[in-house]
Structure 1
Amino acid sequence: MNTNQIEGLTGMAAVLAILVLLALPSVLGIVRDRRIDRQIREAQEIGDVKVAQKSSSRSTVPSTATWYADGRRSKKLVSS
């Protein structure tokens, strides 16, 4: 190999290295976003399963907020 070929090879390697350095943050960001999206999907699927399980085993006793609101409604009807 002569000097011109070595300089050309060195220049190509330098350009390729700069291209990799410029593209690396984008590629890492894409990989990170896909991982986060996958984790969100898995969490939603687990949450959907838990909601389905909870809805079938829910107690029929009204919450305190419902009891309080019902009491206030009945008092308003009586006082008017």
Structure 2
Amino acid sequence: METFVNTTVALLTVLALFLVLALPSLIGLRHEWRVDRELRAARESARPAQKSSSKPTEPSTATWYAEGRRSKKLVSS
């Protein structure tokens, strides 16, 4: 009977230590899941408000040329 009690106490001690060590990780994992869920919901609610065209806009040739000229002036002076 004494062996059974010792074994049970040892098992409960190991389980308690495991819970103490694993609890911060489990709490962090739960927090990460909540943040992911909130980000997903925000992304879904923001989609209809976006522009219909998903193609990124490119600067015109004149803008590209002017920026190139500005950068050359800064380098040469």
Q: TM-score, normalised by structure 2?
A: 0.60
Partner Cα distance (2:20, 2:48) in 1: 43
Percent sequence identity over aligned pairs? 31
- Uncovered stretches (5+) of structure 1, i.e. residues with no partner: 56-80
Alignment of 1:4 onto 2:16: no
Bigger proportion of residues as helix: 1
The one-letter code sitting in structure 2 at the alignment partner of 1:40 is L
Output aligned runs, 1:33-52, within 5 Å: 33-52=32-51
Pair 1:29 & 2:28 matched: yes
How far apart are residue 4 of structure 1 and its match?
Answer: 1.6
Query: How far is the alpha carbon of 1:50 from its aligned partner?
Result: 2.1
The superposition leaves residues 12-63 of structure 1 with CA deviations (integer Å, 9 ceiling, x where unpaired) of 10111110111111111111101101100110111111225xx6xxxxxxxx
Structure of larger gyration radius: 1
- Structure 2 unaligned runs (5+)? 53-77
Runs in 1 of length 4+ with deviation above 6 angstroms?
none
**C-alpha root-mean-square deviation of aligned residues, in Å?**
1.4
